[in-house]
Structure 1
Amino acid sequence: MLVNGNPRSAALARRKSATHRRFAGADWVPRVFDSLEEISEWPVIVKPDLGQGGVGVTLVHGLREARDAMQKMQDPVLVEYLPGAEITVDCFTDRKRKLVWIGPRTRERVRAGITMRSRLLDATPDIEAIAREINDALELRGPWFFQLKADGNGRWKLLEMSCRVAGTMVAQRARGINLPLMAVQDFLERDLIALENPHVKLVERNIATRAELDFEYDTVFVDLDDTLILNGFAVPQTMAFLYQSIAAGKKIVLLTRHRFDVAKTLASARIDSGIFERIVVVRDDESKADYVTPTSIFIDNHFPERLNVAKKRAIPVLDVDMVEFLIR
């Protein structure tokens, strides 16, 4: 079974022209032109009937531009130009067709049609009214969303709607509203309450890059100064990787040239020495490579130390900035 798998609702949401026809007459539907001859005021928008993420949307300022744009796309739609702010409204409808959640958010920074920066807004009466009209008119269940843009007078007009999870619905999860999980709970016949955290107002997204080590190891050797502890505080990404490694059954060995009492330094940084299989303090005339085993990886902020271990042991050596690529 598909969440929001109603074929009529899905077909209507897929085409902007079908959405416009279904809600024709509502004051929140933008003006749609059947032909270029109907247009008396420019600019207008030309966009594909079957499209998403703003792909192909073109602002045109006259007949020639409009004809050129329409010839370049399949099934073009002509709609009024909306110069104002744009928002997405994330919604959730339960199995009883009750609208459980209405969550507007801004689209302040967009990449490839996906919102990377969202400010979480309260649902105003006009936004809530649009959500309820859509919900009452269509058979919806689970997460769905619609997008609005303000016209020249600041009134919200519909851009499109879709009965699926939006790319940035994760913003609602940061707010405490886990819409995909709510869908699972709804299909388990459980009644839902949306418990919002009102203190989350802004969500930033970025591309996280992950790497995989093509190397079997059983031990992580890690340096102390400026690798595990920096300016008296534990380095978060190093600690996260060490705990991840412990959960994966790896041994952790602290390998350091620290000149002070290691136990006291760890304690002052709130690091439990119990996470280490052993602690090795190396003298200035010794090489760290002599302590490193062949089935291990080595983490150290100091390049000469990494170079020496890499040459002598031929194992992966990582600077602190490389560690974050291995955190799952």
Structure 2
Amino acid sequence: MTFRIAILGASGYTGAELVRLIATHPQMEIAALSADRKAGMEMAAVFPFLRHLDLPKLVKIDEVDFSRIDLCFCALPHATSQEVIAKLPRDLKIVDLSADFRLRDPAEYQKWYGQPHAAVELQKEAVYGLTEFYRDEIRKGRLIAGTGCNAATGQYALRPLIAAGVIDLDDIVIDLKAGVSGAGRSLKENLLHAELSGGTHSYSAGGKHRHLGEFDQEFSKLAGREVRVQFTPHLLPMNRGILATVYVKGDPAAVHRALEAAYAQETFLQVLPFGALPSTRDVAGSNYCHIGVTGDRIPGRAVVIAVLDNLTKGSSGQALQNANLTLGIEETTGLMLAPLFP
């Protein structure tokens, strides 16, 4: 069976990544692509790297015939998705890549995103889209809320450790480096080449980053008590990739064993031999996450390093993985492409 797919917000980075992945998916056909400012344009004009594909022209959202669509990906800006999704058919399967449905408590959404939740009733049916930990709910879900790319990376490093009780929950530090595509495709002065290249800077330090809302929600739920982590992201002058260095108190060997046990059967989550550490170049353009563990010179402390591609495993690849589940397709379909190297 072939499923007809719509991608809303196809002129952004995550939209283009979805097109790249779905183009070779054996059970999906791209039936509609939407954009706002670029409506009326061909995708080949917006993204020349896709010019070999026969794709529908970009249109406004209200021009899409959703009665002919089996599943819709929403790759729209934060706050826009709530308004758009609320107007879509209630029987349409939706995978949202924005932050609009990630936080279960509308009050937490307002706290972190600075405005009231505009679709509270829809929030009640949204399933958190961290695939490996919410498979059963995603299979049965209609509205899947994709995670933040930073939040996914930190959770892959920490969830098995919290569940196994092998670390001190009151002393967790996440130091994260991210590529510039995670900031989206909109023009921003601080992302100009002359402003960004040749340097690195932290941002949203001191507990201000929005993805902390996801860490608080997921880690506290998992632990059955409040868990608050220290988290500082940094922007690197590279296009793709996230590297999270996570500092924890716990026996390094036990930390490694917990991760190995948790991910032994997971296709896309690869735990390296103890002491081996991953690089963002190892996963570029792929749906894989690599995780390494080493000890520290201070006894009883461990360092966990997790890497993934923010546009693939951190966003569009995760979205396709979730779409496969909710449509009853083999989960890995369309996602087994090897990382790009060099």
TM range, smaller chain: under 0.3
- TM-score scaled to structure 1, two decimals? 0.23
Structure (1/2) with the larger helix percentage: 2
CA radius of gyration, larger in: 1
- TM-score scaled to structure 2, two decimals? 0.22
Structure (1/2) with the larger strand percentage: 1
The higher relative CO (CA closer than 8 Å, separation ≥ 6) is in 2
